């Protein structure tokens, strides 16, 4: 079972199932999610496992690049974007990225970097990084610049930010196959997933309290 499907099922069950059925499904979900991350962590320990899925005869001389990244080039000067000039929805996404950056710095001690956006990125040597045309890290000031276009999708943006944080933590921005990076990336993924899960649970509890209060207030009035 795919992890996204498991999480969706879980969210659905929180809102709709009876407590007994929910508890049963919860046990099943957690054991599968734990199993999923264990497999991923084992694969990270031996980087060679990743290549098991290679197709015979295919050209793997060039490192994998993200589809959007393949359309961009890093050329010219770094051009930071004024945060006051982005749209309100982009600002919400940006602030969530800043929040996740701080949350990870506090929980698993990822470097406390400043997150900014850039409309143009300078050349780099991140040769084997699948997001090599989407970010630039300024070591001296600890500033992570993310390509402006990435902020149009919350999923893309957060995935990119956590990917970069894992690279910065392991002091290797170049190679996605570095086992130290992979281990840190999956660890970061676990913490972000757990945070989202707890947020959903908190929200469902608040919705429950709201519904309960509403029913009782209406009962009294009648
Ligand atoms: Zn990478």
Q: How many Å lie between the centroid of ligand 1 and the Cα of residue 62?
A: 14
Does residue 113 belong to any structural domain of this protein?
Answer: yes
Residue-wise pLDDT for 118-130, tens only, equals: 999 999 999 999 9
Q: How many Å lie between the centroid of ligand 1 and the Cα of residue 177?
A: 8
Single pTM value for the model: 0.69
Q: What is the pLDDT at residue 58?
A: 55
Does residue 116 belong to any structural domain of this protein?
Answer: yes
- Residue partners of 34: CB distance under 8 A and separation at least 6: none
Does residue 160 belong to any structural domain of this protein?
Answer: yes
Q: How many Å lie between the centroid of ligand 1 and the Cα of residue 195?
A: 22
Does residue 6 belong to any structural domain of this protein?
Answer: no
Low-confidence ranges of the chain (pLDDT < 70): 1-61, 220-222
Q: How many Å lie between the centroid of ligand 1 and the Cα of residue 164?
A: 7
Does residue 56 belong to any structural domain of this protein?
Answer: no
The count of structural domains within the chain is 1
Residue list, CB under 5 A from ion ligand 1: 129, 176
Does residue 44 belong to any structural domain of this protein?
Answer: no
Q: What is the pLDDT at residue 221?
A: 61
Does residue 172 belong to any structural domain of this protein?
Answer: yes
Range of the domain at 123: 64-221
Q: Is 143 within 8 Å of 137 (Cβ atoms)?
A: yes
Q: How many Å lie between the centroid of ligand 1 and the Cα of residue 161?
A: 10
Query: In whole angstroms, what is the distance from residue 198 CA to residue 211 CA?
Result: 20
- The tokens describing 54, both together, are 């290679």
Q: What is the pLDDT at residue 121?
A: 98
Q: What is the pLDDT at residue 207?
A: 86
Strands, E, within 52-182: which ranges? 79-80, 114-120, 135-138, 143-147
Strands 143-147 and 114-120: parallel
Q: What is the pLDDT at residue 59?
A: 56
The packing angle between helices 3-16 and 19-45, to 10°, is 160
Does residue 31 belong to any structural domain of this protein?
Answer: no
């Amino acid at each position: 079972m795919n992890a996204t499907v498991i999480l969706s099922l879980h969210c659905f069950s929180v809102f709709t199932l009876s407590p007994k059925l929910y508890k049963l499904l919860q046990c099943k979900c957690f054991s599968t999610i734990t199993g999923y991350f264990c497999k991923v962590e084992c694969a990270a320990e031996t980087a060679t496992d990743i290549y098991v899925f290679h197709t015979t005869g295919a050209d793997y001389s060039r490192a994998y690049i993200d589809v959007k990244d393949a359309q961009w080039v890093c050329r010219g000067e770094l051009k930071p974007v004024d945060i006051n000039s982005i749209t309100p929805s982009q600002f919400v996404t940006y602030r969530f990225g800043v929040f996740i950056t701080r949350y990870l710095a506090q929980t698993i001690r990822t470097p406390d970097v400043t997150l900014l956006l850039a409309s143009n990125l300078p050349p780099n040597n991140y040769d084997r990084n699948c997001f090599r045309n989407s970010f630039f890290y300024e070591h001296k000031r600890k500033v992570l610049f993310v390509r402006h276009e990435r902020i149009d999708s919350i999923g893309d943006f957060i995935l990119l930010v956590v990917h970069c944080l894992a690279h910065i933590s392991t002091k290797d921005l170049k190679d996605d196959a570095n086992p130290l990076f992979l281990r840190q990336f999956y660890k970061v993924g676990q913490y972000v997933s757990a945070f989202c899960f707890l947020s959903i649970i908190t929200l469902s509890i608040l919705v429950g309290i709201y519904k309960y209060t509403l029913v009782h207030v209406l009962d009294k009035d009648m």
